[in-house]
Structure 1
Amino acid sequence: MSRTGSRGPTVLVVNVNTTEAVTEVIRRSAVAAASPGTEVVALTPRFGPASVQSNVESHLSAVGVLDRVTTYEGPFDAVVHAGFGETGREALQDVLEVPVVDITEAAAHTACLLGRTYGVVTSLDRTAPAIRDRLLLAGLERRCSGVRSVDLPVLELEADPELTAKAFAQQAQRCVDEDGAEVVVLGCAGMAGVHAAVAAALPVPVVDGVAAAVRLAESLVALGLGTSKVRSYAPPEPGRVLGWPLRPAPG
């Protein structure tokens, strides 16, 4: 799957929902962050939820993401899992040797390099527990000062970018003033389009997970590092799951 040669790396950036407009927002953010010569390929799952706002949708999304990446036919050097607080990154690591970078962990790791504490601002309050769980699993929750939300569904974030940026900036400022955050993380891949406006309104660094993940993926490729295949992410034994890989239903 990995491409070799003198050209820059190819990074697959996979949306966790099936909404093409969200994939395009993610793609633009990834391209803006990528180094010259890096090829960004944005992928949308063939099936799954239009937006991920519940546990059941998150788990269904993980299967859709796994299917989309494993059926991609071109060579690639790294994968960015563009779902904040979502499941599925580990499954990709099981089946791939190239680096797989999740935007939740990439954003939090980056924030920890910039300040002692960081706060997260996400779209819906119901997704905050899942975000905390992902940070806890990654060993990054201890430095998180809090997770706040603007209570805007993911698919409404692009409807009025100015209003969205204002709502996120207000909650981000509360992270700083009330929670003691020294850095703010935008906890939604769909927020990539208003990152600049939110950052301009705050006195602290603001981290976009898509941008951070792309840069980290590039760094891992440049260092010649890939996913460890010992223990946790050892390849799954073939033929143990009925009906996988997915195939078209009989006509």
Structure 2
Amino acid sequence: MRILIINPNTTASMTETIGVAAKNAASVGTTVLAVNPDSGPASIQGPDDGEAALPGLYKIFDRHMLGGDPFDAVVIACFDDTGLEELRDRSKVPITGIGEAAYRLAAETAAPFSVVTTLAVSIPVLEYNIKSYGLAAQCARVRASEIPVLDLELNPEQSLSRIGSEVAVAMKYDQCRSIVLGCAGMADMARILEKDYSIPVIEGVSAAVAWCERQVAAGWENTDKT
């Protein structure tokens, strides 16, 4: 099967990181293509950036999915699940966002979970999404590490340390059984944090790839998009 992974921001280096994480998570026989728009915000931090990213996101979805050889499944690789509902209404194949996939995996395997994201401006969006997915009772708290998205690549060691500190705080105060990393740019940190803090750490790229594989294997139909 073939999975299209769309990073809605324009930062190609982040798209590359996402692609590597997706390929590492994919089963034998699954291929992935990670792409990003040519225009739009360099990162998505809050609802204004999400809105600004929609035209580029829709354009790249149409470019790859309306031709003669569409993919078998699609992943929106922004933790805000930017444009997910709109594209889900149009999609003839299974589609998820890395936020939704991570929340559902955490809820199924190690609830309650706490989310550690980037900036506080993203918290209302994530909390709204969690509630809309019917998972509010499984979420202990959404926390911000106060690291700008692009700093995840510019200052990786400092970012990892700050995120780890927030994981420790969540473990101490939230009574959570797992941590969800709330940004696609954190995809390569999950294994390190899981080892360092001895708690399940879930990142959305791998979770979304696994979700897509399950849906396709189960014979997904576009009349059932849950």
Partner of 2:152: 157
TM-score after normalising by structure 2? 0.94
Q: Which has the higher helix share?
A: 2
Q: How far apart, in 2, do the equivalents of 1:86 and 1:31 lie?
A: 20
Alignment partner, residue 240 of structure 1:
none
Measure how far apart 1:168 and its partner are: 1.1
Q: Which amino acid aligns with 1:184?
A: I
In structure 2, C-alpha distance between the alignment counterparts of 1:205 and 1:108, rounded to whole Å = 13
Q: Kindly report the root-mean-square deviation, in angstroms, between the aligned alpha carbons of the 2 structures.
A: 1.6
Alpha-carbon deviations, 1:40-85, whole Å to 9, x = none? 0101013211111131210121232111011114431000111112
Of residues 83, 96, 116 in structure 1, which corresponds to 2:78?
83
Q: Which moved more, 1:65-74 or 1:33-42?
A: 65-74
Distance 2:203 2:193 in 1: 10
Equivalents in 1 of 2:178, 2:221: separation in Å? 29
In the other structure, the counterpart of 1:106 is: 101
SS, match of residue 158 in structure 1: helix
- 1:10 is matched with 2
Paired with 1:209 and 1:136, the residues of 2 have a C-alpha distance of 17
Partner in structure 2 of residue 184 of structure 1: 179
Residue in 1 that maps onto 2:26: 34
| Count of residue correspondences | 223
Which one of the candidate residues 62, 65, 70 is aligned to 1:70? 62
Percent identical pairs in the alignment equals 36
CA distance in 2, matches of 1:36, 1:63: 34
Matched residue type, 1:226 = E
Q: Which amino acid aligns with 1:71?
A: R
Answer whether contact 1:166 1:198 (CA < 8 A) is retained: no
What code does the residue aligned with 2:190 have?
H
| Structure 1 CA distance for aligned equivalents of residues 199 and 190 of structure 2 | 13
Bigger radius of gyration: 1
Q: Is the 8 A contact 2:8 2:82 kept in 1?
A: no
> Post-superposition shift, 1:188?
0.3
8 Å Cα contact 1:12/1:42 also seen in 2 = yes
Q: How far apart, in 2, do the equivalents of 1:35 and 1:171 lie?
A: 32
> Which string of whole-angstrom CA distances, capped at 9 and with x for unpartnered residues, describes residues 149-187 of structure 1?
111111110123222222111111211110111110000
SS of match in other structure, 2:55 = helix
Counterpart of 1:56 in structure 2 is 48
Q: Check conservation: 1:120, 1:147, Cα contact below 8 A.
A: yes
**SS state at 1:12 partner:** strand
Alignment CA distance shift 1:109-1:179 (3 Å): same
| Corresponding residue to 1:128 among 120, 123, 129 | 123
Divergent runs of 4+, >6 A: none
Alignment equivalent of 2:88, drawn from 78, 90, 93: 93
- 1:198: Cα distance to partner? 1.3
Instruction: Check if 1:196 corresponds to 2:196.
Output: no
Deviates more, 1:219-228 or 1:207-216: 219-228
Q: Structure 1 length as normaliser, TM-score?
A: 0.85
The alpha-carbon distance between structure 1 residues 221 and 187, as it changes in their structure 2 partners (threshold 3 A), is: same
